[in-house]
Structure 1
């Protein structure tokens, strides 16, 4: 079975966290994520290599440019101007991360704020359980998008302890 991936998701400057997840998966499907993540450059060929080795080396070198093309096509023209001078897919990825995700300190503050929001969530008397669970999951998903894990046990505990008395 062959797999023809769709066009890459396009980042326009909004919802960076969601684009990152989609683009990482897209690059993984094309076997290009390791080039972005590790800034991999294959070692030069030895003297008189066999044709198969030359072909393999060429394919490995092309991965860098394929990954760069995916990233460049995965952003709007306005965003592209910010990464067009980069020499590698890792540089492009890191530049976007730095600009749209903020520093580690900023992300830590966002996580703290989201955890506080999670702790303060309570189900309203007029609210359906589905609506309440959607609010909880939206907060948790935002925390996860920032790179922090959140245990399912904690979510269940939160729901059980914050349900109104009518559910007891």
Structure 2
């Protein structure tokens, strides 16, 4: 039996993520993936005219609240609209470098608080790492794992010692599971 051709197959794309002025780098990544899925990203990058949807809007226009759309209304190409939004919400190269510097400082000085549990600490650490990665910084998983282990309070010393032997093979998920298991074990002992 022959597989159905794309024109015979019923499928639909999800609506694009709507940008409201917050978390531009995350929205941009979602929109790039969305437009690549529609095979439109090359047209956006080249400055070519992007095909319109049923309602004569481009996919990017449908992904903006009105307050954001008015910022790009005068743009003649989708590429110009993308560039205008990028400058307004990601900032210039200088602004971006300042953001990277501040996030790197936050990463370098980060420590797990005594009142914090492992899950919350790992989430806080990954928030900073992901923001750096969205700004173009290449942070190796090994560096993140090392940072997590050296930032733990004394109550995790035995866990860190046991993990250090396998450090080169570990992911941050492995560390998170080990820390959560140690916390769970500590809770179980205190309840006895």
Give the TM interval when normalised to the shorter protein.
Answer: 0.7 to 0.9
Aligned to 2:85: 96
SS of the aligned residue for 2:94 comes to helix
Q: RMSD across aligned C-alpha pairs, in angstroms?
A: 1.7
The alignment partner of 1:8 has SS state of coil
Q: 2: CA distance between counterparts of 1:150 and 1:34? A: 28
SS at 2:19 equivalent: coil
Q: 1:65-118 deviations in whole A, cap 9, x for unaligned?
A: 338711111111121112122111111111111111110000000000000000
TM-score normalised by length of structure 2: 0.71
Superposed counterparts of 1:127-138, under 5 Å: 127-138=116-127
Q: Which has the higher contact order (CA 8 A, sep 6+)?
A: 1
Q: Which residue of 2 aligns with 1:52?
A: none
Alpha-carbon distance in 1 for matches of 2:38, 2:119: 37
Q: How does 1:2-21 map to 2 (within 5 A)?
A: 2-21=10-29
Match of 1:36 in 2: 44
Q: Measure the CA separation in 2 of the matches of 1:146 and 1:105.
A: 12
Unaligned 5+ segments in structure 1 are 41-62
Q: Which residue of 2 aligns with 1:111?
A: 100
Residue equivalent to 1:141: 130
Structure 2 residue runs without a partner (length 5+): 1-8, 158-192
| CA deviation map 1:22-47 (0-9, x unaligned) | 1111101100011111224xxxxxxx
Mapped to 1, the partners of 2:106 and 2:93 lie a distance apart of 20
TM-score relative to the length of structure 1: 0.81
Runs of 4 or more consecutive aligned structure 1 residues displaced over 4 Å after TM superposition: none
Establish whether residue 73 from structure 1 lines up as the match of residue 62 from structure 2: yes
For the pair 1:22 / 2:30, whether they are aligned, the reply is yes
Aligned equivalent of 1:60: none
Q: Determine if the alignment matches structure 1 residue 84 to structure 2 residue 70.
A: no
Of 122, 125, 143, the match for 2:114: 125
Cα deviation for residue 2 of structure 1 reads: 4.9
